[in-house]
Amino acid sequence: MQRRKLGNSGLEVSALGFGCMGLNFLDGKGLEKKDAITLLRNAVEQGVTFFDTAEAYGPYTNEEIVGEALQPYRKDVVIATKFGCKDASPAVGLDSRPETIRAVVEASLKRLRTDYIDLLYQHRVDPNVPIEDVAGTVQELIKEGKVKYFGLSEASAKTIRKAHSVQPVSALQSEYSLFWREPENEIIPTLEELGIGFVPFSPLGKGFLTGIINKKLEDVDRRNIIPRFSEENIKANMVLVDALSEIAEQKSITTGQLALAWLLAQKPWIAPIPGTTKLHRLEENIASTTVVLTADELAKINTTVNDIELVGDRYPEFLEKQIDR
């Protein structure tokens, strides 16, 4: 698979990464541990080198799965994990105190079966801890060899600049897709200016852009707490999927592949991290890296999406409050 460099940091990853959260955490249909490990190892064999996890996924169990699965390939892969949630739970609150960061890193290293973390993100910006203190703590961990690169997640341009002035930020991980394009306003120009890579999570709109979600979700599905996934909003937003499906059909690709190819075409320093629990979806996602969209096709996609008004917030209220503004 094609490799990409995340900004000016020197961190090189596969053009498409693997978001591991859904393996056992996202929608109530998690895989058995052995099946999750098999899927991750299959991803490596097919060229994926970039894997994203966090202590909050589970909590803790996702890192354990990733650690065991990738141990045989450790020198050939990039593992990203995160700190910043109180008691490893976003629902409890945020905690990025220096002592907490250090404790989380030590625990994550054990679960990941490694002596270094390639990319360490602050999961959410903690308003009670100066970002300069956070960046300084990660800088110390980098000097100690426990961390290689520093990242932020869902951070504002102002916060990115402050952190970057203390310890260079290698990557920002935030939601970005044809289902959520807000980063184009201020975030992407800031990243380009500072030489920071962008790692879009939910690049398929939490599965919505694949076209397989067209009715009320099952009760066990964690996406039920997201306003955009109410039965009413799913029905209203299907106009986007229908429009994209027409364009994808003309290229003989899936709507999901179109969405990923569009993201990859935005900037050469963007590396999306779609997740899946199915081998055929993994293969479908990987195939998107070979899709070439012409300037005319990209313009058509943009025009189509710009004419569609999507409805529903992307987070429930308690998570919206944790977004850095």
> What residue ranges do the domains of the chain occupy?
3-205+267-290
Give dist(CA 227, CA 243) in Å, integer.
22
57 is catalytic: yes
The pLDDT value recorded for residue 321 is 86
**C-alpha dist (Å) from residue 8 to 72, 194, 281:** 29, 8, 31
**Strand-pair partners of 175:** 201
Residue from 57, 121, 149, 176 carrying the catalytic annotation: 57
> Average of pLDDT values for 75-102?
97
> How far is CA 49 from its chain centroid?
14
The pLDDT value recorded for residue 216 is 84
The 10s digit of each residue's pLDDT in 167-197 is: 999 999 999 999 999 999 999 999 999 999 9
pLDDT greater than 70 at residue 27: no
**Which tokens belong to 212?**
């397989």
- Helix count and strand count (H, E) for the chain: 11, 9
Mean pLDDT value across the chain: 96
CATH code, residues 3-205+267-290: 3.20.20.100
> Average of pLDDT values for 39-67?
97
> Average of pLDDT values for 36-56?
98
> Average of pLDDT values for 66-82?
98
Q: Are strands 12-14 and 3-5 parallel, antiparallel or unpaired?
A: antiparallel
The band of 220, judged by pLDDT with boundaries at 50, 70 and 90, is confident
Q: Which residues, in sequence order, are CB contacts of 26 under 8 Å at separation 6+?
A: 222, 223, 275
**Strand-pair partners of 264:** none
pLDDT greater than 90 at residue 242: yes
* Closest by Cα among 175, 133, 132 to 270: 175
pTM above 0.95, yes or no: yes
> Average of pLDDT values for 152-174?
98
| CB-CB contact of 187 with 154 (8 Å) | no
The 10s digit of each residue's pLDDT in 304-320 is: 999 999 999 999 988 88
pLDDT greater than 90 at residue 56: yes
**Which tokens belong to 175?**
């939601």
